[in-house]
């Protein structure tokens, strides 16, 4: 039996598993061949804890590794970071039986965390130079692999943490999508025939997240895509089933009136008095996810086309184009935005509609929307409409905070609801006018 396979304290006995080759090969010894400066005990304990988590060591092996690191006295030895506690000392400190201590040390050696320097009789001790208090040679364990592999352990922990965060985020988004789908199905159960929503109910059941923590992210992403598709389909069915017919009373607006408008609109009267030659701005969807604003004056038309792209500043180009059917003069008026949504002024001056859009993009990051939801709505609404809806919802949330009892508990859910209504032809300019009238009354 060689000294590399000693019994860690008992001469002539064979340690458990000693017949199998240990990983203290030339590669590990070459790694520890260079001289390193002494480190403090706190750094060594931190490296031992990172190694235990990265390698998922057992409780016994973790306790022994921590006890070995705690016995390091920061001696400047040529052999390395040497410690030489006996099995009796380790047993007294950790309350682990001696047989389990030998097995734990063997496991630590197999994981490449220790280098063993055994004495001929298998004991661990330090030899001091005659007539001096200087340690000449040590028989025990070298802890240099903990320090030399510290970056490896930290990278493994960072990768594992990112993976767990991704799984946690996917599960959270999946549960949120399924909750919204269940709420819509509950409302549809009273509005449509039972057979209409059976496929959506099957989608809700089949997209339940697995209980296993080893579920790959790809599987959760597939379930999330399916749940969101079912939710969007359910929202469309609910909208088609509950919207009213177009009448002269609602002016073609299918959404429910949030509050009664008992007084005449001064702004609408002024627009009526200006006549057909008054300038008007029209918003319409353009190609490539952009948003076009057209200003008309009589028979002439000027087109401001803001194309979506990586640039953060607005780039307005002028061109002649036909009139849009939906009038949005108020929506493109920055004065209306600053009066209806004073929270915009807390982020800077509002001198043009581009300032409102830029501030709205900043506000969208504070509405408790997940990254996936923000990218989804920005893609569906377009950059400009997404920013305007975010600015409007942010103002609603800010007003709700001032109330004695808050009614908006999920700003992200309110944003998704209003964004879906905007996709379904909701006139956001009417909401802005109502918000400004309400603010002027107070």
What is the predicted pLDDT for the residue at 193?
79
Q: How far apart, in whole angstroms, are the C-alpha atoms of residue 245 and residue 254?
A: 7
Q: How far apart, in whole angstroms, are the C-alpha atoms of residue 402 and residue 435?
A: 15
The mean of the pLDDT values for the chain is: 74
What is the predicted pLDDT for the residue at 35?
59
Are the C-beta atoms of 47 and 148 separated by less than 8 Å? no
What is the predicted pLDDT for the residue at 257?
43
What is the predicted pLDDT for the residue at 232?
87
The pair of three-digit structure tokens given for residue 378, joined into one six-digit string: 């920005």
The pair of three-digit structure tokens given for residue 289, joined into one six-digit string: 């996810």
pTM here is 0.48
Terminal Cα-to-Cα distance of the chain (whole angstroms): 92
* 211 pLDDT more than 50: yes
Min mean pLDDT across 56-70, 272-286, 327-341, 360-374 is at 272-286
Three-state DSSP state, 115: strand
Which has the higher per-residue pLDDT, 83 or 300?
83
**Residue 416's closest CA among 194, 173, 187?**
173
Residues 103, 109, 114, CA angle at the centre, nearest 5°? 125
- Give the rounded percent of residues in the chain with a pLDDT score beyond 70: 69
* 347 pLDDT more than 90: no
Are the C-beta atoms of 282 and 323 separated by less than 8 Å? yes
* 305 pLDDT more than 80: no
Q: How far apart, in whole angstroms, are the C-alpha atoms of residue 225 and residue 215?
A: 16
Are the C-beta atoms of 413 and 369 separated by less than 8 Å? no
Phi, psi (deg, nearest 5) at residue 360: -65, -35
Dihedral over alpha carbons 412, 418, 422, 423 (to 10 degrees): 60
Three-state DSSP state, 109: helix
Span 277-284, mean pLDDT? Answer: 40
The pair of three-digit structure tokens given for residue 172, joined into one six-digit string: 């959270």
Q: How far apart, in whole angstroms, are the C-alpha atoms of residue 398 and residue 401?
A: 5
What is the predicted pLDDT for the residue at 138?
83
Confidence of residue 277 (pLDDT cuts 50, 70, 90): very low
CATH class of 3-148: mainly alpha
Q: What is the largest CA-CA distance in the chain?
A: 111
Q: Mapped to the 3 state alphabet, what secondary structure does 137-164 carry? A: EEEEEECHHHHHCHHHHHHHHHHHHHHH
Q: Tens digit of pLDDT for each residue in 379-435?
A: 998 888 899 999 999 999 988 888 888 888 888 889 998 999 888 878 788 788 778
Q: Where are the domains of the chain?
A: 3-148, 169-242, 278-441
Three-state DSSP state, 126: strand
**Residue 411's closest CA among 369, 348, 351?**
369
What is the predicted pLDDT for the residue at 263?
43
* 301 pLDDT more than 70: no
Span 290-308, mean pLDDT? Answer: 39
Highest mean pLDDT among 3-17, 70-84, 307-321, 340-354: 340-354
- Give the number of other Cβ atoms within 10 Å of residue 150's Cβ: 18
Which has the higher per-residue pLDDT, 260 or 347?
347
List, in sequence order, every residue forming a beta bridge with 284; answer none if it has no partner. 292
* 237 pLDDT more than 50: yes
Q: How far apart, in whole angstroms, are the C-alpha atoms of residue 133 and residue 149?
A: 32
* 349 pLDDT more than 80: yes
């Amino acid at each position: 039996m060689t000294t590399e396979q000693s019994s860690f304290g008992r001469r002539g006995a064979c340690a458990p598993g000693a017949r199998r080759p240990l990983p203290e090969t030339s590669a590990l010894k070459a790694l520890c061949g260079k001289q390193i400066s002494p480190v403090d005990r706190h750094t060594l304990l931190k490296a031992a804890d990172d190694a235990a988590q990265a390698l998922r060591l057992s409780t016994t092996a973790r306790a022994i590794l921590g006890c070995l690191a705690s016995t390091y006295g920061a001696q400047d030895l040529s052999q390395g970071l040497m410690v030489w506690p006996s099995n009796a000392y380790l047993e007294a400190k950790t309350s682990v039986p001696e047989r389990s201590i030998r097995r734990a040390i063997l496991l630590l050696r197999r994981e490449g965390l220790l280098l063993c320097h055994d004495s001929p009789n298998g004991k661990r001790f330090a030899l001091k130079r005659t007539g001096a208090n200087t340690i000449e040679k040590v028989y025990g364990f070298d802890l240099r692999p903990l320090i030399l592999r510290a970056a490896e352990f930290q990278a493994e922990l960072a990768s594992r943490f990112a993976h767990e965060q991704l799984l946690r985020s996917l599960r959270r988004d999946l549960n949120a999508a399924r909750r919204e789908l269940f709420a819509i199905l509950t409302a549809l159960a009273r509005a449509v025939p039972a057979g209409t929503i059976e496929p959506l109910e099957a989608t809700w059941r089949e997209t339940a997240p697995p209980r296993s923590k080893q579920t790959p992210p790809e599987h959760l992403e597939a379930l999330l895509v399916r749940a969101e598709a079912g939710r969007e389909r359910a929202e469309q069915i609910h909208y088609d089933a509950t919207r009213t017919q177009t009448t002269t009373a609602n002016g073609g607006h299918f959404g429910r009136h949030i509050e009664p408008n008992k007084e005449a609109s001064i702004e609408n009267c002024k627009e009526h008095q200006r006549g057909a030659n008054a300038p008007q701005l029209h918003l319409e969807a353009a190609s490539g996810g952009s948003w076009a604003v057209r200003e008309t004056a009589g028979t002439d038309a000027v087109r401001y086309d803001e194309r979506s792209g990586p640039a953060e500043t607005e780039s307005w180009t002028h061109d002649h184009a036909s009139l849009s059917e939906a009038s949005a003069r108020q929506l493109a008026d920055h004065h209306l935005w600053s009066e209806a949504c004073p929270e915009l002024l807390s982020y800077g001056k509002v001198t043009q509609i581009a300032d409102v859009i830029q501030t709205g993009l900043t506000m969208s990051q504070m509405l408790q929307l997940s990254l996936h939801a923000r990218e989804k709505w920005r893609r569906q609404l377009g950059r400009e409409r997404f920013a305007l809806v975010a600015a409007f919802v942010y103002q609603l949330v800010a007003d709700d905070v001032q109330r004695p009892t808050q009614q908006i508990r999920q700003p992200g859910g309110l944003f998704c609801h209003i964004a879906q209504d905007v996709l379904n032809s909701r006139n956001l300019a009417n909401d802005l006018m109502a918000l400004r009238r309400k603010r002027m009354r107070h």
